[in-house]
A and B are shown apart, each in its own frame.
Chain A
Amino acid sequence: DAGVIQSPRHEVTEMGQEVTLRCKPISGHNSLFWYRQTMMRGLELLIYFNNNVPIDDSGMPEDRFSAKMPNASFSTLKIQPSEPRDSAVYFCASSLQASGYGYTFGSGTRLTVV
């Protein structure tokens, strides 16, 4: 199993541009999570999906952020327009809901907005 796959690994973009982060969860996992990590705020849960349906997006910082999960094997996190304060490492994780076991995290996308 290749694990949770995120792309790109690094993204540098200019303020005001649209940014799309991608995630492929582990096959068979039906829960997917997006986290953001910064030095100031640590790891923050942004949104999570169960069976492709968004369950809790209360962690999404602003309307500039949106997330979709069109099918069980793919999710995107979009920032439009991007701002320098969005610079962070964004992690995607997946799990089998109701198993109670741990989440498997991807390697993250390091986003820099200049």
Chain B
Amino acid sequence: DAKTTQPPSMDCAEGRAANLPCNHSTISGNEYVYWYRQIHSQGPQYIIHGLKNNETNEMASLIITEDRKSSTLILPHATLRDTAVYYCIVRVYNNNDMRFGAGTRLTVKP
């Protein structure tokens, strides 16, 4: 019962922006969009989250469409160290039932 749909893999050139899409057409009004990434052999790492407004932090930007049915994670200047699996998750703000899908494997190439 996947709540999100992501492409299985993407490539990006080093130094360019990486735009990772996520579809969440059944998102509820009280559900947030969260993004995590997992670099090989490490634990997942929190990146960013948002409800309906665009968000930016030191790692990335999150763009959520007005109807909230999809979002895009933007890594503005991808580096080789950004090669990882990126997970898009929707959940209620303080609901601890957070489940991961298959994610998108991003490969940043020199």
Contacts and interface: CB of A to CB of B under 8 A. Distances in A.
A69 interface: no
A33 B100 contact: no
A34 interface: no
A103 B32 contact: no
- Classify the interface of chain B: helix, strand, loop or mixed: loop
Contact of A101 (B49, B99, B101): B49
Contacts of A50: 96
A107 B57 CA distance: 24
Interface string A69-108: 0000000000000000000000101010111111111111
Interface string A43-60: 111001010000110000
Contacts, number: 56
Chain A interface residue number, banded: 20 to 34
A107 B43 contact: yes
Chain B interface residue number, banded: 20 to 34
B26 interface: no
A55 B97 CA distance: 10
A57 to B, nearest CB: 12
B48 to A, nearest CB: 8
A100 B94 CA distance: 5
Contacts of A104: 46
Contacts of B34: 102
A45 B46 contact: no
- For the complex of A and B, 10 pairs with smallest distance between CB atoms: A102-B46, A105-B43, A43-B100, A100-B93, A98-B94, A105-B44, A91-B43, A48-B96, A100-B94, A108-B43
